[in-house]
Structure 1
Amino acid sequence: MTPTLRTERLLLDPYLPDDEEAFVALFQDTRVSRWMGDGPVPEEEDRALFGRIFTKVYARGLFDVWAVRRDGELIGHAEIKRTDAVGGHEIIYALAPAAWGAGLGSELARALTAYGFDTLALAEVHATVAAENGASLALLERIGFEHVRDITEDDGSTTRVLTLRAARDV
């Protein structure tokens, strides 16, 4: 069961069925979706994805997926899951453009990373970011992630793999 997480300004909790419209609006915003998966998709696909969060991800306990809220409003999406692309656990997050530039991305990425280390007992956490997404690359590097390799996608674009390793007790 996906737990509720809190940061100074954010609440990460499991999605509710009533979140569908806000979820679809977030994923349909091309400023957000251009950096997610294979980019923008038809609205029906985002609605189907929202449904699968309940019927597959939550129902089977596959991995943790959160609605990201600030002051009760859904402003983002977050997950941590094992992926073959990185050979480990990857953090995935998106914030609505209205939430950009206020440090919430760093706060969110730190919370996901801490959850990976403290709750899931991971030795390292990964993130994949399009090489052109300078804002996300800078955010992750600011909080300690290091670029470890590149993946050349089928369309010729480059995805950067970044990794943060857990601090070891000496």
Structure 2
Amino acid sequence: MTPALRTERLEFTPYRPEDEDAFVALLRDEEVCRWMGQERSPEADIRVLFRAILTDVYPKRLFDVWGVWCDGRYIGHAEVKKTGNVDGHELVTALAPAYWGRGLGTEVVRGLLRHAADNLGLKEAYGMVGAENTASLAMCRRLGFRHVRDVVADDGAVTKMLVISTADAARPAAGPVHRTESLAQEP
């Protein structure tokens, strides 16, 4: 079951039904879609995806996925899941544009890395970042991610595959990550 986590400023909580509109708004935001390297999906499709998190992902324990909160406000989305690109786990994050540039992305990634190491026993984690996403690539370099290879899509878009050792991940700045009891709904 996806545990609730806490860092210095952030709470990572399993999604609840009442979080659906916030999730949809985040994944419908044009800037978020652009930097995640995806087309803007119809609202109905994102609602189906959200409901699948509640009805499939959590009950079947497929992977860990959270809403990210700061001062009681929904600010983003985070996941740790197996990746189809390599034999390993990928960190997935998305923050609402209003929260960019405050160090919160770094704190989210550090929290995920600590969870991956301490709770999942992972030795390394991967990230996929669009080649044009200079801010996220700079953050990844500061954290210690290393370039593995470029992945080129059919349309020519380039995504950088990055890897980091969870043992080498910078820990102090975000404070400890605390695992709390899971808030996920059981069916």
What's the TM-score, normalizing by structure 1? 0.95
SS at match of 2:35: coil
Partner of 1:162: 162
Partner of 1:7: 7
Structure 1: any 5+ residue segments left out of the alignment? none
Structure 2: any 5+ residue segments left out of the alignment? 169-187
Partner of 1:146: 146
RCO greater where, 1 or 2, for CA within 8 Å and sep 6 or more? 2
Partner of 2:36: 36
Contact 1:126 1:162 in 2 (8 A): yes
Partner of 2:51: 51
Shift of 1:48: 0.9
Partner of 2:181: none
Q: Once superposed, what is the RMSD of the aligned Cα atoms? A: 1.2
Contact 1:4 1:11 in 2 (8 A): yes
SS at match of 1:11: strand
Work out the CA distance in 1 between the residues paired with 2:47 and 2:37: 15
Contact 2:114 2:166 in 1 (8 A): no
Work out the CA distance in 2 between the residues paired with 1:166 and 1:38: 27
Contact 2:14 2:65 in 1 (8 A): yes
Partner of 1:87: 87
Following TM superposition, the consecutive aligned residue runs of length 4 or more in structure 1 with deviations greater than 2 angstroms are 35-39
Contact 2:113 2:166 in 1 (8 A): no
Deviation sequence 1:6-26 (CA, Å, 0-9, x none)? 011000010010001111111
Change in Cα spacing, 1:128 to 1:152, as seen in structure 2 (3 Å) is: same
- Find out whether 1:20 has 2:52 as its counterpart: no
The number of residue pairs the alignment matches comes to 168
Work out the CA distance in 1 between the residues paired with 2:84 and 2:26: 26
Shift of 1:49: 0.8
Change in Cα spacing, 1:39 to 1:87, as seen in structure 2 (3 Å) is: farther
Partner of 1:103: 103
Contact 1:86 1:161 in 2 (8 A): no
Shift of 1:76: 0.3
